[in-house]
Amino acid sequence: MTTPPSGATDTHCPYCSLQCGMRLRPTSGEPAPVEVEERPDFPVNRGALCGKGRSAPAILAAHARLTAPLVRDAHTGQLREASWPEALDRAADGLAAAARRYGSDAVGVFGGGGLTNEKAYLLGKFARVALRTAAIDYNGRFCMSSAAAAQRAAFGLDRGLPFPLEDIPRAGCVVLVGSNLADTMPPAVRYLRELQEAGGKLIVVDPRRTRTAALADLHLQPAPGTDLALALGLLHLVVAEGLVDEEFVAARTTGYEAARAAAMAHWPERVEHLTGVPVALMRRAVGLFCGTPDRTGMVLTARGGEQHSKGVDTVGAWINLCLATGRAGRPAAGYGCLTGQGNGQGGREHGQKADQLPGYRSITDPAARAHVAAVWGVDPDELPGPGRSAYELLDTLGTPDGASALLLMGSNPVVSAPHAQHVTERLRALDCLVVCDVVLSETAELADVVLPSAQWAEEDGTMTNLEGRVILRRAALAPPPGVRTDLEILHGLAERLGVPEGFPAEPQEVFEELRAASAGGQADYSGITYERIAAEDGVFWPCPASGPGEPEHPGTRRLFLDRFATPDGRARFADVSHRPAAEEPDADYPLRLTTGRVLAQYQSGAQTRRTPALAEAAPGPFVELHPRLAARLGVTDGDGLTVVSRRGRVTAPARLTAAIRADTVFMPFHWPGEGRANTLTNPALDPVSRMPEFKVCAVRVEKAS
């Protein structure tokens, strides 16, 4: 790792899970206090940055952000500026009052997948020690929870990618399921191009012909909600054509016979009927995937395949394809999940998730509870048990069975949650809502107390990218007056709640405690230090601490090469079968809606919509539909369209394209108001991961009056 020039700071992009390396250099303060430079030495992006990364400093400008606490005035009902003591007192009093009146579980905590590991760790500790509540979860539940559950079931361990990105060009064939990397992670597209330049093949599974699908050697275009059937159909062909790696299956897996039987019930013609993918294209896909040398090949899934009420089974079926063909547990082969949020991986490893303690420990495991309680200096019996998942927590806010006060940090569920109007109503029903954020998001506008947080360029902290690489963000400047870090906020709240010790505001001090809490867990960070991260361009977990006189553990770049993380070292096939989406089209709602992202916006858009260059590039929502459907409706490009589901209606301009199926419409989910896509989406949950079914619901489309 090279040393940055004098006055410059090497750090990382604040957005997606690539966590691209960048260099910040101070400016005169206009239009932003720092400017971005490329950092070619960081191996993930090798200097490449997308428009979001290049424009990230814009949100640091004072006019774009919160610079003072806000409290809701009892007389006017409006938010007004307040001092930090007043705001923290109001917040702590509101949380404590709910606990006194209804019990500790009446206080909820909702975190975010963009928080650093230090913040995620301390937020989980704050919930369980300062508040003693089980009611904590985070928006990462909406990101990769289905993939995480399927990986744990199959491999015994969940890390987004069990290999570094650099392995992709050596894979021979990559199947990309439900990901539009060209828009969501543009710097990662170079790995797909390098794959093809090396003679490898790219198969993209997506109901839309996205910019990523346009790069593919083969594009499979299933109806939304049918990826599970497609994966089963491909496995059927693998079995029927004698392409199973019998030696690998016998030596390194269990459960094959049940998975084989399920796949054989999904013959190609049946799968074509379910998905709309022609049998000939399925056969071609199997030929490409199984035709690689040395059993190389990967399946990578993202939200398009995972955000379903059967997302865990869907991912399990794609893992089955890897296992049956021997494309797992060896170099340049395997299944991986393309994590979305910047710290979607680390954010759940260390305690934000309702059922997990630091180190990826189960909160119901007595040994795990004892270990973490010892680090925290509390009795294991004092730690609460598992709480509700993210949507279930939001769904019950303000009800007799749910939380009556909520601390929300780094999330904007008014825009990002499914059935968003209902979630908005539940937030309004709270006795006390405290929001920590960098901007006055749509959720913060509902709060009783708003606490302005420092940003990525103003504080140190670690993140864990999609490869499991723990990286270090460095502060390039101080927060503006009136702004505090989230760690300082948690320290101030804990102090007011009668827990003055155990909530340090210094990131490196928190990380040292995180190391101890994670030691011996699956996500073991105990051998990782700030100094190692800075010297090695990040360290891959698990990385246990070495004993006296032992060499330093190098970190684990590639998992499962010798054995899987199950008790017997074998991977487990999933016994899964196709089932319909929770909501299928009918006479009243004859179309499918699917949702996703666009190049110039990110997640709920709370920050990117405030960035002038990005707002100009993508100023508002739209409804993408096929010209044949538009002709039936009498709609031309740009006309207003109303999309109606069983949960509500939204209106946005039409965008005609032959790149989408004629039975499907698409909306991006970055905007609030009358074009808010998540007004429509279905909160039906996967029974295992509790992931909502964002990616498909039944709708009708009308020309707007």
**Segments in 377-440 forming alpha helices (H):** 390-395, 413-416, 420-428
Q: Is the pLDDT of residue 679 over 90?
A: yes
Q: Provide the β-strand partners of residue 655.
A: 624
Q: Give 1's pLDDT tier (boundaries 50, 70, 90).
A: low
Three-state SS across 156-221?
CCCCCCCCCHHHHHHCCEEEEECCCHHHHCHHHHHHHHHHHHCCCEEEEECCECCCCHHHCCEEEC
Query: What single-letter DSSP state applies at residue 130?
Result: I
Q: What is the pLDDT of residue 16?
A: 96
- φ, ψ of residue 344 to 5 degrees: the values are -60, -30
**pLDDT above 80: residue 5:** no
Position 195 scores a pLDDT of 98
Q: List residues bridging with 111 in a β-sheet.
A: 138
Phi, psi of 608 (to 5 degrees): -70, -30
Report the chain's mean pLDDT, rounded to a whole number.
Answer: 96
Mean pLDDT of the 646-667 span: 98
> For residues 39 and 462, what is the distance between their CA atoms, to the nearest angstrom?
18
Q: What is the mean pLDDT of residues 406-424?
A: 98
Confidence of residue 39 (pLDDT cuts 50, 70, 90): very high
HEC letters along 609-643: HHCHHHHHHCCCCCEEECHHHHHHHCCCCCCEEEE
pLDDT of residue 2: 67
What are the pLDDT digits (tens) for 216-247?
Answer: 999 999 999 999 999 999 999 999 999 999 99
Q: Which residues contact 212 (CB under 8 A, 6 or more apart)?
A: 176, 179, 180, 181, 182, 183, 189, 192, 204, 206
What is the C-alpha to C-alpha distance for residues 414 and 442, in angstroms, rounded to an integer?
A: 6
Residue 398 has pLDDT above 80, yes or no: yes
598-643 pLDDT tens trace? 999 999 999 999 999 999 999 999 999 999 999 999 999 999 999 9
pLDDT band (50, 70, 90) for residue 547: confident
Stronger pLDDT, 376 or 6, i.e. the higher one: 376
pLDDT of 433-478, one tens digit each? 999 999 999 999 999 999 999 999 999 999 999 999 999 999 999 9
Q: What is the pLDDT of residue 239?
A: 98
pTM of the model: 0.96
Supply the pLDDT for residue 501.
95
- pLDDT tens digits for range 120-140: 999 999 999 999 999 999 999
Q: Tokens in use for 688? A: 């295992």
**Full set of structural domains in the chain with CATH:** 9-64 (2.20.25.90), 70-142+343-540 (3.40.50.740), 146-337 (3.40.228.10), 591-703 (2.40.40.20)
Average pLDDT over residues 568-572: 98
Handedness of CA 408, 414, 416, 420 (dihedral sign): positive
In this prediction, residue 413 carries a pLDDT of 98
